Amino acid sequence: MKQHAGKIDAELAKQFEADHYDTYLKKENPSGRTLCGHFADDPQQFGGGVPYAPSGTFDAKVVDTKMAKQMTFAGRWGFACGAPFDAKKFLEENPQFDWMTHILKSRASQPWTTFRAGEKGSAATGSSR
């Protein structure tokens, strides 16, 4: 973080939220120990939770000073990294969660979108910057 001190903006914040670096294993490894929160991919072999639990990041939001002054923020539905979640595939691979068949929903990959105060419905502007 020292190399980013005083330089963090919304674009860098998006990268941070999409981080897959596992600080326990000290390598890239999407899991429950990463900022992006891929618990459904985590066998939890090191303890701390339910193996392959269908939980984690459901959305991501960032705002910087300029955006706050303009009453805007950027958001993305689903994982911050943009990865989709396929509920049917997940349930096939993890039958222990079959009790969730009727409540677990898939999440397609969505772009980062900028929202402005006072917008209604589809007035938000898509942005994949």
Torsion angle, CA of 16/29/57/1, rounded to 10 degrees?
-20
- Where along the chain do its domains lie? 2-126
Q: Which residues are 107's β-sheet partners? A: 85
Asked whether the predicted pLDDT for residue 8 surpasses 90, the reply is no
CA distance 99 to 83: 24
Tell me the C-alpha distance between 16 and 95, whole Å: 32
Q: Give pLDDT tens digits for 41-86.
A: 998 888 778 999 988 778 999 999 999 999 999 999 989 999 999 9
With beta carbons less than 8 A apart as the criterion, state whether 45 and 32 touch: no
Tell whether pTM > 0.85. Answer: no
